[in-house]
Amino acid sequence: MAQREGKEGVEVFSSAEQTLLTEIYEDYHEIITRKGSTAAINKVREVAWQNITDRLNVEVTQDHSVFQHNIMFYKSCIKGTK
């Protein structure tokens, strides 16, 4: 992940990282999009995002991402395709 020029703290995913994140997300799609907002469901979603982040970090040898960044990135991708 690289930082965008002029914006401290903003991380940008490379196209390879974007593709990888999308592929890993597909394995957890059902869990993340499951309806409901109980504490148990939210915990399962959080664990799923952490698993996605862990897999992404293992496969990408650069900076380690945080799962909240992955959530925000994927949501922005979804908005862009609608």
Cα–Cα distance, 10 to 20 (Å, whole number): 20
Q: How far apart are CA 7 and CA 48, in angstroms?
A: 29
> What's this model's pTM, rounded to 2 decimal places?
0.62
What's the pLDDT at 40? Answer: 94
What was the pLDDT predicted at 5? 53
Tell me the per-residue pLDDT of 8-51, one tens digit each, with 9 for 90 and over.
555 677 788 888 888 999 999 999 999 998 999 999 999 999 99
* Cα dihedral across residues 60, 20, 33, 80: positive or negative: positive
44 compared with 77, residue with greater pLDDT: 44
Instruction: Identify which has the larger pLDDT, 79 or 10.
Output: 79
pLDDT digits (tens, 9 = 90+) for 1-20: 554 455 555 567 778 888 88
